[in-house]
A and B are shown apart, each in its own frame.
Chain A
Amino acid sequence: MFYREAGQYKTSYEADSAKFPIRQDKWFIWFYLAIAFIAIPYFGGQFFLDAIMIPFLVFALAAVGLNILTGYTGQISLGTGAFMGVGAYACYKMTLAFPDVNIIVFIIASGIFSAIIGAFFGLPSLRIKGFYLVVTTLAAQFFLEWAFIRIPWLYNYNPSGAIEVPQREAFGVIVTGASASSEVRYLVVLSVVVIMTWFASNIISGRIGRSWMMIRDMDIAAELMGVRPLYAKLSAFAVSSFYCGVAGALMVFIWQGAAEVEVFDYNRSFQILFMIILGGLGSLLGCFLGAAVIFIFPIIIHNILPPIWAIITPWTMSSSQADLVAAVMIGVLIVTFLIMEPHGLARLWAIMKQKLRVWPFPY
């Protein structure tokens, strides 16, 4: 009843093309941001920030990256994990070379390396479509994974083959390494994710985003309307990989603190792909919803299923079995969503909002 737009008139095209045309939505966004920036770090507690919020935000950012490519431009990619890896290794090498520079600068700059490599592996997309891209992006995935192992320079010749994040500062505050506080790391991730998501939504609603969607919906017509496939596709690959690269750098530097190649393997690529399928292809909100479900759901199952199972059946279940059950459920969830609602959670959300708009008098 309170979610009503009656009496809100738009008197300019600017107001009409605003991202949140309904006034209540605008308030909600500021409200959510206030919760995220103030309430969660204040009340959240270390476990909640470290184990839930930081990884969730990192995955949401990677999902935004993949959604730009797959959801908005219609190019499938199974190389997300590797592109995240490029960002992480680039950030690592840069901060080793220049320890005194603000680490956030390097986290953002690492996206540039991913973008270059992503655009390179996007080159075949100019001549091929659809499933063939599965193969070329898997080529990126496997080749880069191999490179992360075989080029010891990338992990600074560590005998373990892993990259270990050194202590680094930004604006005089310790941001990475063991002595960085959860609150600081959370706020860094949150700021980067919010700003980059805002940029993404701006690009998508403008000319460049439209040219991506034109390519996605009808590439021939797009070309006849003057979209150059070269620019549109490669820019989508580059921007997408940029986001994934930053997400990868955040994952290692802010969340995990150390990483081996396995965290960038092709399972990571699938995980991110599932997030955007479930959340909604071509929806930024969907990236966040999908990341939340795909990341948090298995954690819940992991913790609550074994005790429940022990109560209702005479057998015991290990937590690794619970993980497998969660994986099966996610697979089923993906297939179910593709059948029932291919536009994902974001569409369900939109339908709910539409209902709310006219509630309680739908006719």
Chain B
Amino acid sequence: MNAHDPHLSTKFDDGIAPGEELLHVDNISLSFGGVKAITDISFNVLKGEIRAIIGPNGAGKTSMLNVINGFYHPQEGSITFRGEKRTKMKPYEAATSGISRTFQNVALFAGMSTLDNIMAGRTLKMHKNFFWQMWRHGPALQEEIEHRKVVEEIIEFLEIEAIRKEPVGTLPYGLQKRVELGRALAAEPDLLLLDEPMAGMNLEEKEDMSRFIIDVNQQYGTTIALIEHDMGVVMDLADRVIVLDYGKKIGDGLPEDVQANQDVIDAYLGVSH
């Protein structure tokens, strides 16, 4: 892997130094009908860190990610990303501003090959218009090949060369998760949201995935917010941890502090409310 690659390293220059605030979530409340999914949550994510969101099932973790990338619109609160404050935005606007994600239940494009899925992640970087595409030979092909090179780097990085041309629908679950990470990475995100990247994996697959996450974070400097249930993984990977329970924030801090927090222990062991 070449850390000084001309394509993949350009994205680091977004004017935010490591350690500064990249994302700030401010007093978010979200409800469906009468059901409150998230109540008054605030936290921030710093440039270059790995931020974990943990909590029991139904705590509102995935809803939180959905709010961050514009899929759900919270009734209250605001989100500040790269210094820009926004209340309501569409998912593709989030994508344009540099947020990319993976999904809890793999959401790959099942009818397309691994290569096309990761190429799909480059959608926003490609601009040749309809008429060039129609002609293909010339600028459109040039662009296609340029991006193919980047995608091939990602394929190499994730060690999935062998399945390049396989339709993703037929791949085993662990590989699908890896392709999905590749697709999210292809968008060269400033903020990468990972929704349970290791759910349903065996130990070896988890180790691989952890290695990829750390590599992404260190080599590309990508900021990562992830949801994970495996506490061992979270404690090892994360720089800071937020704990949610019943849509409320009950803990926020360094992994070891959170681990010692009495509220968190209660939430996980189940104390009656």
Contact = CB atoms under 8 A, between A and B. Distances in A.
B120 A13 contact: no
Contacts of B69: 224
Nearest to B130: A208
Nearest to A223: B91
A206 B135 CA distance: 10
A357 interface: no
B149 A13 contact: yes
Given A210-B116, A211-B123, A225-B187, A203 B149 contact: no
Interface in A188-210: 199, 202-203, 205-210
Contacts of A228: 92
Contacts, number: 101
A207 B133 contact: yes
Interface stretch (B99-107, B213-221, B243-251, B262-270): B99-107
Interface stretch (B19-27, B30-38, B139-147): B139-147
A260 to B, nearest CB: 34
B91 to A, nearest CB: 4
Interface in A1-59: 12-14, 17
B92 A223 contact: yes
Interface residues of B, number: 40
Contacts of A202: 133-136, 140
B120 A225 contact: yes
B67 to A, nearest CB: 13
B124 A210 contact: no
A210 B107 contact: no
A203 B71 contact: no
Interface residues of A, number: 30
A209 B126 CA distance: 13
A206 B107 contact: no
B73 to A, nearest CB: 14
A173 interface: no
B71 A220 contact: yes
A359 B116 CA distance: 29
Given A199-B134, A202-B133, A224 B94 contact: yes
A167 interface: no
Nearest to A12: B145
Given A202-B136, A203-B130, A206-B140, A226 B112 contact: no
B187 A226 contact: yes
Given A203-B134, A213-B116, A214-B109, A17 B145 contact: yes
A262 interface: no
Nearest to A215: B109
Contact of A226 (B92, B116, B135, B152): B92
B183 interface: yes
Contacts of B123: 207, 210-211, 214, 225-227
B109 A221 contact: yes
A214 B123 CA distance: 10
B111 interface: yes
Given A210-B116, A213-B112, A218-B110, A224 B134 contact: no
Given A13-B145, A214-B109, A207 B92 contact: no
B120 A14 contact: no
Given A218-B108, A225-B100, A210 B95 contact: no
B60 interface: no
A282 B145 CA distance: 23
Nearest to B129: A208
B96 A226 contact: yes
A25 to B, nearest CB: 16
B186 to A, nearest CB: 9
B226 interface: no
A213 B109 contact: yes
B121 interface: yes
Given A210-B120, A224-B91, A226-B92, A13 B136 contact: no
B11 interface: no
B86 interface: no
Given A207-B133, A224-B101, A217 B91 contact: no
A107 B108 CA distance: 40
Given A225-B100, A225-B120, A227-B123, 5 more contacts: A13-B148, A206-B133, A207-B126, A210-B120, A216-B111
Interface of A: 12-14, 17, 199, 202-203, 205-211, 213-214, 216-218, 220-228, 235, 282
Which 5 A/B pairs are nearest by Cβ-Cβ distance? A226-B95, A217-B109, A202-B136, A226-B124, A206-B133
